[in-house]
Structure 1
Amino acid sequence: MSGVRHKPPVTLDRVTTSRGELVLRESDGRYEVISNGVFLMDTSDGRSERLLVDAAVSRCKATEPRLLIGGLGVGFSLVRAVEHAHLTAIEVVEIEPTVIGWHANHLPHLTGAALSDPRVRIIEADILAWLAAAGDQYDAICLDTDNGPNWLVFEANAELYANRGLDLVARRLRPGGVLAVWSASRDHVFEERLRDRFGDVEILETPTGTRTPDVVYVVRAADTAA
């Protein structure tokens, strides 16, 4: 009996950080990130991460929009953002310097061109703390932090998806600005929280084939400042 033989995963880097162990593995051209022994993300698909950016940017009313992405990950969202030529600024907040370094050392073939785009700025910071600091406003914000609101690897990220986090995001949105949130599955409690804060919620699903669909939530800030 014959079939395709897959090489076993190769560990490219294993780092102990302040938040635990991070591992980057590669197998047959697919890269995956393991955090504290739990699968976090890989490069096998990326459709829902690209949808996250497309949904936010396409709904922007600004002619020269500024975009903020919460989470660099394996770079799907960043690469898609760079393809939107009318974006004037693309800022990516990533908490892990190890992940940022991987894009220079192990993943430049995936994200090197995007990272060299003059509109792109990578900010090493915790997204919640960075949102809380005084700073620029954006026409679109995309959150792809951890695995979304209801499948967290790091419990500290729960506050980003709680009322305080949504209030901080709303403060950074320009009037009429768009927020898109990636989630590994639907979270009805989070959906109600979004409705309470922003009003109507658009729910976009991407089939995965092996588990529940990935979800992108899209909401819009009021057209006039509160």
Structure 2
Amino acid sequence: MIPLELIDTAELPDGGTLRLMRRGQDFSILFGRNELMSSRLRGSEEALATLAYDRLRGRAAPHMLVGGLGMGFTLRAALAVLPADAKIIVGELVPKIVEWARGPLAHLFGDGLDDPRVAIEIRDVYELIAGSRAAYDAILLDVDNGPDGLIHAANDRLYGKQGLRAAHAALRPGGVLAIWSAYPDKVFADRVARAGFMVDEVKVRATGGRKGAHHVIWVAIKV
């Protein structure tokens, strides 16, 4: 068996540690015993971008906010479909994630970080949302394991009434809020609807193929 190798660690602002691991050609990021992401599973992260873009198709110069850099799968999928006049802001709370993107994970990111459409903000994505009014055509959130604060307690505010109303205000008319989760949550979906969105819960394969575990993406349209 190929051994699991620790490549690096990253400390989280409110405690806890992320571990970047490698087994052969596969990379993963762990929080405790939880595997937050893996280079083997990219389908649902890519779908987060493509499902949102399907609702935006035809808009001129779309402005997208991506919460969480991860392993770059959402960013690369967005760059593949967005037009040349688009703008993508990526809010990433942990500086080490950006270092990994330019270091041991650079092969996953390709030239995505250097694309002129992309700007990286080392900030809590909540700040980028709460400080904006009608600024974005789409907000994509993949900052935790679901609509709660597993790895960063402050993420709870993104998914509560205040955070959802802030996202609603930060979107342009008809804008899209897309949220990734490892599991379904009807209570949360109802909360999104009450914040002024038309919500569609989409199940997607983690692998991007026909087999394997499902993840959930809520695609919510501002109404």
Task: State TM-score, norm by structure 1.
Answer: 0.88
Q: Is the 8 A contact 2:89 2:118 kept in 1?
A: yes
Residue in 2 aligned with 1:39?
35
Letter in 2 for 1:77: T
Aligned match for 1:10, one of 5, 14, 17: 5
Residue in 2 aligned with 1:92?
90
Aligned match for 1:169, one of 151, 167, 170: 167
Whole-Å separation in 1 of the counterparts to 2:178 and 2:194? 16
The 10-residue stretch of structure 1 (127-136 or 42-51) with the greater mean CA deviation from structure 2? 127-136
Cα shift readout 1:4-48 (whole Å, capped 9, x = no counterpart): xx4111111124443321210111211111124432211112111
Aligned length: 216
Letter in 1 for 2:221: R
Whole-Å separation in 1 of the counterparts to 2:23 and 2:156? 31
Aligned match for 2:200, one of 188, 199, 202: 202
The answer to whether the aligner puts 1:122 opposite 2:82 as a matched pair is no
Q: Is the 8 A contact 1:93 1:122 kept in 2?
A: yes
Aligned positions of 1:122-141 closer than 5 A: 122-134=120-132, 137-141=135-139
Residue in 2 aligned with 1:79?
76
**SS of residue matched to 2:111:** helix
Whole-Å separation in 2 of the counterparts to 1:176 and 1:136? 10
Q: Is the 8 A contact 1:175 1:221 kept in 2?
A: yes
Aligned match for 2:190, one of 189, 192, 209: 192
TM-fit CA distance, 1:103: 0.5
Whole-Å separation in 2 of the counterparts to 1:85 and 1:210? 28
Q: Is the 8 A contact 2:87 2:117 kept in 1?
A: yes
Relative distance call for 1:135 and 1:121 in structure 2 (3 A) is farther
Whole-Å separation in 2 of the counterparts to 1:121 and 1:136? 19
Question: How big is the alpha-carbon RMSD for the aligned residues of Structure 1 and Structure 2?
Answer: 1.9
Whole-Å separation in 1 of the counterparts to 2:127 and 2:87? 21
Aligned positions of 1:11-26 closer than 5 A: 11-18=6-13, 19-26=15-22
The 10-residue stretch of structure 1 (58-67 or 21-30) with the greater mean CA deviation from structure 2? 58-67
| The structure with more radius of gyration | 1
Aligned match for 1:148, one of 146, 151, 162: 146
Whole-Å separation in 1 of the counterparts to 2:94 and 2:50? 25
TM-fit CA distance, 1:198: 2.6
Letter in 2 for 1:7: I
Whole-Å separation in 2 of the counterparts to 1:194 and 1:17? 27
Aligned match for 1:65, one of 50, 62, 65: 62
Segments of structure 2 that go 5 or more residues without pairing to the other structure are none
Q: Is the 8 A contact 2:199 2:220 kept in 1?
A: yes
Sequence identity percentage: 34
Aligned positions of 1:99-118 closer than 5 A: 99-118=97-116
Q: Is the 8 A contact 1:104 1:112 kept in 2?
A: no
TM-fit CA distance, 1:150: 4.7
Q: Is the 8 A contact 1:198 1:219 kept in 2?
A: no
Cα shift readout 1:142-193 (whole Å, capped 9, x = no counterpart): 1111112157233321111111110111111011111111111100110100
TM-fit CA distance, 1:199: 4.0
Segments of structure 1 that go 5 or more residues without pairing to the other structure are 1-5
The 10-residue stretch of structure 1 (7-16 or 51-60) with the greater mean CA deviation from structure 2? 7-16
Task: State TM-score, norm by structure 2.
Answer: 0.89
